[in-house]
A and B are shown apart, each in its own frame.
Chain A
């Protein structure tokens, strides 16, 4: 399923998530049909294993089904909530696979570190994100290689700032500033692409 196919699924993600909260399995299925290709791609990129990626994808939808009540319905950015939840889950799986996870995985941990807190009042779903996907690709291509690498280590490799510093053998403040600059420039380029 490509991006064109993803675009065919038209329904408000916020409403779908509200229906999931009311134990509507059809709504969850609609969310799965819409998000699963993007999420599976993301997970596979992080864990680098097809079967594990499938397991994690299933885990993600189980979390969505069971813990929809953790989503603050005052905010309407469902896309960010689902993608960041998937990214956190995949990164945690990777860390546990690598043996770098310090804390045991339990409900509290999941609620605090896997389920993200989103503070966006603007309605932002899969359709809106898909519209911005080309802009993002263009903006990323305009970043420096170092900036891209830092973003890759932070986002896809699941490394913390101190781990990146250790890997790159550079001081932690330098890593912090590099991450800050990379993301700010991406934001700027996105805005410039939009204009």
Chain B
């Protein structure tokens, strides 16, 4: 079909009486020929007016309702199609069975409950230890300098001797305590005091050691740490779940349970910290006790030696009095001759 031939077909095309082949050939030509397009448009408008030559009939309201219903159905079908397409485009979310995870969490929770009991038992054990540890340094009447408490325990080398000695070697104490006790009484009193002073700290030390042994010998605290580690492991590294199961954490129940496990971890850590704090406190107290014992010992030795010295001095005086040479020393003339 050429352009001139196409012009002959425009009227028939506008009326819609062309065969399929003729129509397709004309359409190919029309695509790039604006003149043909313009001419066809004028015929099309003319043909579209032909129905006005008929007597117009109203289709009725039922037809409108029918059209509305059909359009509604079509819209619903389209929506369903779109949803289906969206679902197809969306990556499949595999909802895996979380019952295994729940069971494992439950099984892991169970020993924690036991642990709480154990911890409560442990606290019951610790209570008498605290009672024992209520030590009364008043026995020695030695003042405990505040610097002891304030300073670091590790720096024990520098702390005790200087300050204690400074306080003890005061003139008042020296004068009063030396003047009052007779030498015989000192002899009789010192030994039992010595025995007491040596026995008492040993007794206390044994007690504290026993308590500490009980704590360390008990395997239960170790179990608690193991369980806590396994709990943490279940969340972070050592869990037996694969990655796909891990995605189920998004489900609320599992997330809540994991949160609980985290809380349990935190509680366990807190308990550990409390324990270590208690240990630290106990060690501070034991150090103070040791220092007090040392102080008492030094005081005792000091008194003992001073008493001995006094005793010796008295003996010297008595010897001097009994010895005649002593008078010569008193006389400077003899003294000079002698020299």
Contact = CB atoms under 8 A, between A and B. Distances in A.
Interface of A: 1-3, 6, 25, 28, 32, 36-42, 44-45, 53-54, 57-58, 61-62, 65-66, 75, 77, 79-80, 83-84, 87-88, 91, 102-103, 113, 116-120, 124, 129-130, 132-133, 136-137, 140, 151, 153-155, 158-162, 164, 176, 179-180, 182-184, 186-187, 190
A85 to B, nearest CB: 10
Contacts of A182: 11
A116 B20 contact: no
Given A120-B44, A187-B46, A137 B12 contact: no
Contact of A154 (B8, B16, B60): B16
B175 interface: no
Contacts of B17: 153-155, 158-161, 164, 179
B227 interface: no
For the residues of B in contact with A, the DSSP-based class is helix
A189 B264 CA distance: 97
A191 to B, nearest CB: 10
A116 B27 CA distance: 11
B15 A154 contact: yes
Residue among B18, B37, B48 with max Cβ neighbours from chain A (10 Å): B48
B42 A158 contact: no
Contacts of B59: 36-37, 40, 53-54, 57
B52 A62 contact: no
Interface string B32-67: 001001101111111111111111111110111011
Nearest to A109: B20
B6 to A, nearest CB: 12
B74 A44 contact: no
B76 to A, nearest CB: 13
Contacts of A65: 71, 74
Interface residues of B, number: 45
Residue among B19, B37, B56, B74 with max Cβ neighbours from chain A (10 Å): B56
A1 B58 CA distance: 5
Contacts of A160: 17-19
Given A119-B30, A161-B18, A187-B42, A36 B52 contact: no
B12 A161 contact: yes
B54 A133 contact: no
A124 B71 contact: no
B23 interface: yes
B11 A184 contact: yes
Contacts of A84: 16, 44, 47-48
A124 B20 CA distance: 28
Contacts of A164: 17
B41 A119 contact: yes
Nearest to A181: B11
Contacts of A183: 11, 14-15, 43, 46-47
Nearest to A133: B52
B25 to A, nearest CB: 13
